[in-house]
Amino acid sequence: MLTLSTHLLGLQLSLACCCWALACQEVESSPDFSLPGDYIIAGLFPLHGESPGVRRKPEVTLCDRPNNFSGHGYHLFQAMRLAIEQINNSTSLLPNVTLGYELYDVCSESAVVYAVLSVLTPRGMRHIEIHQNLSYFSPKVVAVIGPDTTSHAATAAAMLSPFLVPVISYEASSMMLSAKRQYPSFLRMIPSDKNQVKTMVLLLQRFGWVWISLVGSNGDYGQLGVQELEEQASRKGICIAFKGIMPYSARAGDEKMRGMIHDLAQVRTTVVVVYAGRQLAKVFFESVVLAKLTDKVWVASADWAISSHITEMPGIRDIGTVLGVAIQQRVVLGLKDFEEAYVRADKGVLRSCPQGSWCSSNQLCRKCWTFTRDKMPTLGTFSMSSAYSSYRAVYAVAYGLHQLLGCPSGACSAGLVYPWQLLQQIQKDNLTFNNHGNLLGGYDIITWDWSGPEWSFRVIGSSTWSPVRLDINKTKIQWHRKNNQVPKSVCNKNCSKGYRRMVTGVHHCCFTCVSCEAGTFLNESDLYHCQPCGKEEWAPQGSQTCFPRTVVFLTWHNPISWVLLAANTLLLLLLGGTAGLFAWHFDTPVVKSAGGRLCFLMLGSLAVGSCSLYCFFGEPTLSTCLLRLAPFALGFTIFLSCLTIRSFQLVFIFKFSAKVPTFYHAWVQNHGAGLFVVLSSMAQLLICLSWLVVWTPLPTREYEHFPQLVVLECTQANSLGFILSFAYNGLLSVSAFACSYLGKDLPENYNEAKCVTFSLLLNFVSWITFFTTASVYQGRYLPIVNVLAVLSSLCGGFSGYFLPKCYVILRRPDLNSTEHFQASIQDYTRRWGST
Ligand SMILES: *[C@@H]1O[C@H](CO)[C@@H](O)[C@H](O)[C@H]1NC(C)=O
Ligand SMILES: *[C@@H]1O[C@H](CO)[C@@H](O)[C@H](O)[C@H]1NC(C)=O
Ligand SMILES: *[C@@H]1O[C@H](CO)[C@@H](O)[C@H](O)[C@H]1NC(C)=O
Ligand SMILES: *[C@@H]1O[C@H](CO)[C@@H](O)[C@H](O)[C@H]1NC(C)=O
Ligand SMILES: *[C@@H]1O[C@H](CO)[C@@H](O)[C@H](O)[C@H]1NC(C)=O
Ligand SMILES: *[C@@H]1O[C@H](CO)[C@@H](O)[C@H](O)[C@H]1NC(C)=O
Ligand SMILES: *[C@@H]1O[C@H](CO)[C@@H](O)[C@H](O)[C@H]1NC(C)=O
Ligand SMILES: *[C@@H]1O[C@H](CO)[C@@H](O)[C@H](O)[C@H]1NC(C)=O
Ligand SMILES: CC(=O)N[C@H]1CO[C@H](CO)[C@@H](O)[C@@H]1O
């Protein structure tokens, strides 16, 4: 690989050669073709084929071997000439300025060195004089078009870089030439291979080929290409199942190639990318044909994609489908006419040329002419894109000169132009070159077409640069399989929906499928991990999406709510009705014995508890959470306190007032009953307040218990404060029960033991049921249980205490008389007095 050291070596070599070639031997170095002009552009084209074989030592090869002319270089050179003539004729581009050219045949590395040294020699001089300041160095030419291959281009670019002479290649595509530190003056009219690799990766992605093999050729082109391809493909999730590099020495069917083909067959990838120069690609496909490896899709790099080297091989038809990335097929308009006119013009006036490869300016040498005459008809099948690049390169130089000479102002000031000035100017053309000096251009995607009598290729799409895009018409591809389906190249088939991939080996393309757990889902963006759903979402097992959870709470409108609401409203009405009834019959003994005014307090407190039930319905808010249970607890405390104190009073009056009269008087005078109710209620109020302050119930969304639901509820449902306040009520219930039990032998119309026991039992049962349920079940129906518990407590309280009295008032007015009461008291006193 050429680096800075070779670059320095090149300079040393050039100085040595200067001495040897120009000074010491005094041999005039001259181009093969030339045209004088104000500004000279050098063209480095391979006009002869390179001698085959690996050279092991530096060696000067001569290019003028007879009968081995390269049509390729010839056409490129003609394209350059055409461009120069067009520019000379043009009145808008470089008016009144003529461009000249010098053509050098670069069939070998040494020929490149010769050519570069000749190019560097200032006009009219025979040797290179290096100035103190290289900025003032003015060589014979202002720019160099060419040379062809990566290694030739690297040699030329390294030697010319100290002088910043623009080198514009038409074929060298290797990525290493993008290194601006080493090749500052190198530009090219084809995109860098990096783009080619990117296009290939896009192609692989387009067909979903993620399990591929990679074959490269030894050398910069193949090795750098394979390396870059491996990097870029892996980044896009493509797995390289097999990678092989063919050595220079590879021959068709030798052991190395047999081994490689064997490995290739073993890994069972349908798609094989062959990133190789055409020579080694030929060796490779000869081996493929020998081994009868068929039924594959071969992806070709630009160098061999449309090379007749390969397509003319016997047996190549059967290897499968070939898709390739090719330099965009552009046509130099008028090149054919130009070449034909040139041949016609010179046929008649063919002058003898001296032996050797150089002729006087702008003349054809014999060999060239012979070649031209014989080979002209083949122009039709000639790959035009390199010729186009060479043609465009001349125009790039001309546009640069045009700007530099101030031609846009009308008249060109044809003065001295230093190469570095021109380089700067050309680099400013940011529509043609990127900042690494590579052409901003795309590729054609081609496929081999055997439908005709002979091989041809079909353009099926193209890639564009910035933005990077690949357009392919898939219907244009004729796949090698009978059904014409796109072949698959994967290690494992895709998992079914909702199944994630679990990698089983080294390659992430080989996996087993595992179902996603409930609550997770598989997004297309990551096929290897199941992602958890959001808080408000849920997913069943093996899901691809999450579904929104259903928000549940006890709504106003559902049958259960209606029943509960109706029951509660009925209770409220009953409470109101009872209050009215009691007020109407306020002076009757039943009402008086029931507690008189105290009854209204009891009914009111039950009503408060009943009202708080409405807070259980609808979406919980802060206020409804606060008002759900505390008012009920407080109301029920008042009710129980009244109940207790009344039972206590009855027992006290009947049994103890006579025994401890002083205490009885003190009790009555100090409104003992009222005091007790107030104190007891204050205690509960305190408990409730601290409950609401310390364990504030807040509206919340509960996600834990049901994967598919969000339950709206109040927090701290069973907090210590709540339990304290209910324990307090329990305590009151027990004392109420105890007092009523003590009075179980009182006269019947004062004896409430049965009814109170009933209501308190109902109270206990309903709350024990509630707490048991709440401890095992935390769901959407808990509020209903809660409402039922509250409702049954209230109903129990109401029915146990008030219903019997209402019954007496309404149905048994005979029992609701002072006489009846006095009779029963007397009866009681008699019984107890007599014992
Ligand atoms: C001519 O060049 C080709 C390669 O382009 C080479 O294979 C062949 O051996 C050469 N012939 C001679 C006589 O050098
Ligand atoms: C340039 O002009 C000459 C005559 O002035 C003409 O013969 C020639 O074909 C022109 N060349 C091109 C490429 O237009
Ligand atoms: C060479 O000349 C240029 C232009 O005059 C100047 O900017 C540069 O500093 C000189 N370089 C050296 C090494 O003298
Ligand atoms: C070109 O040169 C001719 C004469 O040499 C002159 O008449 C003409 O104005 C020049 N044109 C430009 C654009 O310089
Ligand atoms: C090209 O360069 C010009 C200035 O030299 C700049 O205004 C323009 O945006 C550039 N275009 C691109 C595509 O970079
Ligand atoms: C693709 O190619 C087919 C046949 O070659 C043609 O009929 C079709 O119009 C093309 N589609 C597009 C989008 O160019
Ligand atoms: C397999 O999955 C990948 C990634 O989602 C997709 O690009 C490809 O088209 C799928 N292949 C098949 C055959 O479904
Ligand atoms: C799923 O992946 C897509 C991109 O493929 C992304 O836009 C989307 O936000 C992802 N969805 C989730 C829920 O992560
Ligand atoms: C305007 C101009 O100088 N045109 C010349 C360009 O070069 C060709 C030869 O290649 C001449 O024929 C033109 O006269």
In the predicted structure, residue 11 carries a pLDDT above the cut 50: no
- The pLDDT of residue 29 is 46
Q: What is the whole-number distance in angstroms between the Cα of residue 494 and the centre of ligand 6?
A: 29
Number of compact structural domains in the chain: 4
Ligand nearest to the CA of 107: 1
Q: What is the whole-number distance in angstroms between the Cα of residue 423 and the centre of ligand 9?
A: 25
Which atom of ligand 5 lies nearest, measured to the CA of 430? 1
- The pLDDT of residue 342 is 64
Q: Who lines ligand 2 at CB under 6 A?
A: 82, 85-86, 89
Q: Which residues of 485-515 are buried (b: 16+ CB within 10 A; e: fewer)?
A: ebbebbbeeebeebbbbeeeeebbbbbebeb
Q: How many CA atoms lie within 13 A of 539 on its CB side?
A: 22
Taking Cα atoms as reference points, which of 578, 553, 508 lies closest to residue 795? 578
Q: What is the whole-number distance in angstroms between the Cα of residue 88 and the centre of ligand 2?
A: 8
| Interatomic CA distance for residues 685 and 508, integer angstroms | 67
Dump strand ranges (E) for 159-229.
Answer: 167-169, 186-188, 211-217
Which atom of ligand 7 lies nearest, measured to the CA of 488? 13
Give the CATH number, domain containing residue 617. 1.20.1070
- The pLDDT of residue 754 is 76
Pocket test for ligand 2, best of 89, 362, 394 (most atoms within 8 A of CB): 89
Which residue lies with its CA nearest to atom 5 of ligand 3? 135
pLDDT category of residue 422 using cuts at 50, 70 and 90: very high
Do 533 and 564 belong to one domain? no
Taking Cα atoms as reference points, which of 706, 176, 80, 716 lies closest to residue 437? 176
| Residue percentage of the chain with pLDDT more than 90 | 27
Q: End of a domain among 510, 525, 548?
A: 548
Kindly report, residue by residue over 472-484, the tens digit of the pLDDT. 999 988 898 888 8
Whether residue 432 is contained in a domain is answered as no
Do 180 and 73 belong to one domain? yes
Pocket test for ligand 3, best of 131, 133, 136, 421 (most atoms within 8 A of CB): 133
Whether residue 538 is contained in a domain is answered as yes
| Interatomic CA distance for residues 92 and 528, integer angstroms | 62
Whether residue 323 is contained in a domain is answered as yes
| Residue percentage of the chain with pLDDT more than 70 | 87
Regarding predicted confidence, which is higher, 111 or 378? Answer: 111
| Interatomic CA distance for residues 89 and 96, integer angstroms | 9
Kindly report the backbone phi and psi dihedral angles of residue 170, in degrees, each rounded to the nearest multiple of 5, phi listed first. Answer: -110, -10
Q: End of a domain among 486, 521, 548?
A: 548
- The pLDDT of residue 174 is 87
Q: Is 532 helix (H, G, I), strand (E, B) or coil?
A: strand
| Interatomic CA distance for residues 223 and 219, integer angstroms | 6
Residue span of the structural domain in which 776 resides: 559-747+765-796
Q: What is the whole-number distance in angstroms between the Cα of residue 411 and the centre of ligand 4?
A: 8
| Interatomic CA distance for residues 366 and 353, integer angstroms | 7
| Interatomic CA distance for residues 745 and 768, integer angstroms | 30
Q: Which residues of 655-678 are buried (b: 16+ CB within 10 A; e: fewer)?
A: eebeeeeeebeebeeeebbeebbe
- The pLDDT of residue 354 is 42
For residue 107, CA distances in Å to 48, 170, 461, 675 come to: 6, 16, 34, 122
Which atom of ligand 7 lies nearest, measured to the CA of 493? 13
Whether residue 436 is contained in a domain is answered as no
Q: What is the whole-number distance in angstroms between the Cα of residue 1 and the centre of ligand 9?
A: 42
Give Cα 79 to chain centroid, integer Å. 47
In the predicted structure, residue 820 carries a pLDDT above the cut 90: no
Do 110 and 205 belong to one domain? no
Do 161 and 302 belong to one domain? no
Which residue lies with its CA nearest to atom 4 of ligand 2? 89
Whether residue 340 is contained in a domain is answered as no
Whether residue 437 is contained in a domain is answered as no
Which atom of ligand 4 lies nearest, measured to the CA of 411? 14
Q: What is the whole-number distance in angstroms between the Cα of residue 136 and the centre of ligand 3?
A: 8
Token readout for 770 is 């509630």
Whether residue 106 is contained in a domain is answered as yes
* Of the listed ranges 6-10, 408-412, 685-689, the one predicted with least confidence: 6-10
Report which residue type is found at 123. R
Q: End of a domain among 387, 402, 427?
A: 427
Do 220 and 253 belong to one domain? yes
Contact, 166 vs 44, CB < 8 A? no
Do 199 and 143 belong to one domain? no
For residue 601, CA distances in Å to 170, 597, 605 come to: 106, 7, 6
Kindly report, residue by residue over 131-167, the tens digit of the pLDDT. 788 888 889 999 999 898 888 999 999 999 999 999 9
Contact, 487 vs 479, CB < 8 A? yes
Contacts (Cβ under 8 Å, ≥6 apart) of 775: 718
Q: Which residue has the tokens 């008389």?
A: 817
Pairing of strands 39-45, 99-105: parallel
Taking Cα atoms as reference points, which of 296, 312, 315 lies closest to residue 304? 312
Do 85 and 160 belong to one domain? yes
Do 318 and 226 belong to one domain? yes
Do 188 and 199 belong to one domain? no
Residue 309 carries which DSSP code? H
| Interatomic CA distance for residues 700 and 707, integer angstroms | 16
Give the CATH number, domain containing residue 209. 3.40.50.2300
Pairing of strands 520-521, 531-532: antiparallel
| Interatomic CA distance for residues 672 and 833, integer angstroms | 27
Residue 788 burial by Cβ neighbours in a 10 Å radius (0-12, 13-18, 19+): middle
In the predicted structure, residue 692 carries a pLDDT above the cut 80: yes
Contact, 112 vs 147, CB < 8 A? yes
Regarding predicted confidence, which is higher, 755 or 39? Answer: 39
Do 167 and 220 belong to one domain? no
Whether residue 553 is contained in a domain is answered as no
pTM across the whole model: 0.66
Do 522 and 446 belong to one domain? no
Do 595 and 652 belong to one domain? yes
Taking Cα atoms as reference points, which of 418, 417, 460 lies closest to residue 305? 460
